[in-house]
Amino acid sequence: MISLIFSGLLTGLSVGVYCLGICLPVFVPIILQTKQNIKSSFRIVLEFSAGRLFGYLFFGLLIGWLGILIESNLVHELVNLAMFLTGLVLMVVSLGILKWGIKACKIVFSKIRVPIILGFLTGINVCPPFLASLTYVFNLSSVTRSIFYFLFFFLGTSLY
């Protein structure tokens, strides 16, 4: 279980700058849209973070359950291949060779003003770190382990 905690935490830490780049364009306008005091701004940060956490835990539960449900070795091998490919995409995106498009996300996110919903949507954003994490937890074949992974993934990304 310790290795699982470190996997989630270190993955979150390693992609936190990327996640920050995705969340800030969505999050900052909410903070700036009205004159806020420190207390209400902090409440918005907590709501947004809770939405992200719920998104991660929901998909951790769902994908962990699918990993248990689907017992096919072929499917698990295909998921291993997908994990390798998403890892490559993650490296290419982090090096700036490939730009991961977020224009569609900006259009959708600009219409929603509820911090917890925006947090949930950014938490389930189909980006390379999230896809790599989904493929990883699928092969764990455990709902509990998948949820723990995403909990620590959330903590790692939240430090940024």
Q: Report the predicted TM-score, pTM, of the whole model to 2 decimal places.
A: 0.75
**Residue 2: CB atoms within 10 Å:** 6
- What gap in Å lies between CA 131 and CA 116, rounded to an integer? 22
Phi, psi of 159 (to 5 degrees): -65, -25
* pLDDT for 157: 86
Burial class, 79, CB count within 10 angstroms (exposed 0-12 / middle 13-18 / buried 19+): buried
Mapped onto helix, strand or coil, the DSSP state of residue 157 is: helix
Question: What pLDDT is recorded for position 61?
Answer: 92
CA atoms within 13 A on the CB side of 34: 7
> pLDDT for 40-91, tens place per residue?
878 888 888 899 899 999 989 998 898 888 877 777 777 778 777 777 776 7
pLDDT of residue 150: 92
Segment 4-47, tens digit of pLDDT: 888 889 888 887 777 777 777 777 777 777 667 778 878 888 88
SS3 147: helix
